[in-house]
């Protein structure tokens, strides 16, 4: 495949993730979210993988697109569920890592990885039953990318995205000079921040809904969004603290719906 023309933004993203992929050692892949009996509905990643994606699996003939697959960790989990999983990424080194991991875990026959960009997918129309994107929309041109998702998705198919989103009060404060000094937003490999990424906004959600009106949204991370401060103060204690606060978040957001707009992460479910 000939690589498509890349915009300046896409070139920066590609350069960043080529380097980030080389700097990062892929972790051992845990299949607990799909093989175990434990469920964590308060955690957006687990909610996507162990609930939504598994809920829509009905046959090994189903094709799933991992929309911006990175090193393929989620693709392999989706393949273990039973999907024929396809993944693409803008960083060629990520594709190399994904193929190596697929072979390591014996899933090379159920996975397919290739270079690609979200705004110009190299797949046929109405090809996939499910499209899943985890932390990808805030890196890309949303309108064109969602149009491409709709093009390659079968009638009756589902798209699932997990994303950070701006919230009232907190993000305006976060974007002040003091907020940026306390918690820098400049490009960083250590903090995994690219030069062009930005949280989704209410306008972005409006754009997505106009393209696909059958949209549902679930909010997460009311207080647990402060995980960055826990990590900075005591990295070893962050995981148990984070899990506890995520559970509190779920209960609070269910009990007090008026607080949902303050949830800093969302899971979008769209039906074609």
Pick from 42, 263, 265, 253: which is nearest to 168 by CA?
263
86: in domain: yes
**What single string gives the DSSP state of each residue in 128-181?**
EEEEEEES-GGGS-HHHHHHHHHHHEEEEEEEEEEEEB--TTHHHHHTSHHHHH
1: in domain: no
pLDDT value of position 198: 95
239: in domain: yes
pLDDT value of position 89: 98
Residue 16: CATH number of its domain: 3.40.50.150
145: in domain: yes
Report yes or no: 270 and 155 within 8 Å, Cβ to Cβ.
no
pLDDT value of position 76: 98
Structural domain for 108, as ranges: 8-271
pLDDT value of position 261: 95
3: in domain: no
Compute the distance between CA of residue 50 and CA of residue 268 in angstroms, rounded to an integer: 15
Report yes or no: 271 and 156 within 8 Å, Cβ to Cβ.
yes
Our count of domains for the chain comes to 1
172: in domain: yes
Q: Which helix (H) or strand (E) holds 8?
A: helix 8-23
186: in domain: yes
Compute the distance between CA of residue 113 and CA of residue 89 in angstroms, rounded to an integer: 8
pLDDT value of position 179: 80
Point out the residues of the chain with pLDDT beneath 70: 1-3, 228-239
3-class secondary-structure state, position 263:
coil
Those residues whose C-beta lies under 8 Å from the C-beta of residue 231, and which sit 6 or more positions away, are 238
240: in domain: yes
């Amino acid at each position: 495949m000939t690589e498509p023309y890349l915009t300046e933004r896409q070139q920066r993203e590609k350069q960043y993730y080529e380097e980030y992929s080389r700097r990062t050692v892929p972790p051992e892949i845990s299949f607990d979210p799909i093989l175990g009996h434990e469920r964590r509905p308060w955690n957006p990643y687990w909610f996507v993988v162990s609930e939504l994606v598994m809920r829509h699996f009905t046959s090994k003939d189903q094709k799933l697109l991992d929309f911006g697959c990175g090193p393929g960790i989620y693709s392999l989990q989706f393949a273990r569920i039973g999907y024929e999983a396809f993944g693409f990424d803008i960083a060629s080194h990520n594709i190399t890592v994904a193929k190596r991991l697929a072979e390591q875990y014996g899933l090379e026959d159920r996975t397919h990885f290739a270079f690609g960009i979200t705004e110009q997918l190299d797949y046929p129309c109405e090809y996939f039953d499910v499209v899943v994107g985890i932390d990808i929309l805030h890196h890309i041109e949303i309108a064109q990318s969602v149009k491409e998702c709709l093009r390659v998705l079968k009638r009756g198919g589902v798209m699932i995205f997990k994303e950070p989103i701006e919230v009232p009060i907190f993000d305006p404060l976060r974007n002040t000079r003091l907020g940026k000094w306390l918690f820098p937003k400049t490009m960083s490999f250590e903090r995994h921040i690219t030069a062009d990424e930005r949280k989704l906004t209410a306008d972005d959600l409006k754009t997505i809904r106009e393209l696909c009106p059958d949209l549902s949204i679930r909010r997460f991370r009311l207080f647990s969004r402060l995980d960055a401060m826990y990590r900075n103060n005591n990295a070893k204690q962050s995981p148990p603290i984070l899990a506890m606060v995520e559970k509190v978040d779920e209960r609070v957001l269910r009990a007090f719906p008026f607080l949902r707009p303050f949830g800093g992460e969302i899971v979008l479910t769209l039906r074609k």
